[in-house]
Structures are given as structure tokens and as C-alpha cells.
Amino acid sequence: MRFLLVDQVLACPPTGPVRGVKNVAMSEDFLEFHFPGNPVMPGVLLLEAMAQLAGWREAAVSDFTRWFLLDQVRRSAWYGFVLPGDQVALTVEPLPDPADGRRAFRGLGEVGGRKRVAAEFEGATVPLAELDDPAVLRQHFRRLCREGGF
């Protein structure tokens, strides 16, 4: 199963932080078992949402030739639960590149202005065409940004 965990990209400047949104719906599959009778979005999926937002940033700044793949979490902390009905405001800020072909980021997830997750992570940049069709992802990104009348 493939989880697409960024529902909207609010800002994606060529430099500086990228901002997005994850809306947590009660119908999401992962909530059925995490935890039965007390659904909570798994913390690792909040981290994945930040990594996906970093991927969208890498795609946008590279004209859809590269994608970011998370392979190391430097540090992370969780500050409360994310529940069905919550809207998670995501901010991912680029840090200095640790090496050629690698990116590092600092991410923050907030619900109603209250911090829920913070992390620093890094990973490799890979050719986007090896993962998916760049034209299809470009179109999906336009939808996420609400471009073209969406």
C-alpha cells in the first residue's frame, strides 16, 4: 500500500522552508489498528509526511528530475497525539547539504499552532524517473499546489 501523506502544498519557494498540510481522516487504514478504540496517527507516519514534503521540494527545485529519499533520522521528538479530524501544518526547512547528492532538513508538524512532532533528517537525492513518471508527478504537484483552477 502506498500512503500519500501530503494533502496540500502551501508554499514551495526555491530557497527557504516548504509548507504543507496533512489532513487526518478517520477513514485512513492505519487508524484501524493504531490503536483499536483510540485512533492515533502513528508518529512514524508524521515523520514520513515531512519526508514526502521534502521530496516534493526536491522535485520542484530540480524541475522534476530528482526526488529525496529519507535514510537517516538525526533526531526526532513527539509532543502529543494527532487524532482523526486534525489538520497537521507541516514545515520543512532545508539545512546545509551534508554531502554531494544528499540533503538534510529540519521538520515541524503542528496542530492548531501546537507542536506535535519535530525532527532533523537526511537522505539521498535520486533520479525521479527511476521511481515514477516525472510528468505524472508534476501534474500531481500542480494539484497539491492548487494550480490550474483546482
CATH architecture assigned to 8-22+32-141: Roll (3.10)
Domain ranges for the chain, please list them: 8-22+32-141
Mean pLDDT score of the chain: 95
For residue 133, is pLDDT > 50? yes
**pLDDT value, residue 148:** 63
Tell me the chain's radius of gyration from C-alpha atoms: 15
For residue 12, is pLDDT > 60? yes
* 34 part of the active site: yes
What average pLDDT does this structure show over 21-46? 93
- The pTM (predicted TM-score) of the whole model is 0.95
For residue 50, is pLDDT > 90? yes
Q: What angle do CA 94, 100, 102 make, to 5 degrees?
A: 45
Q: Which of 34, 106, 140, 142 is an active site residue?
A: 34
For residue 32, is pLDDT > 60? yes
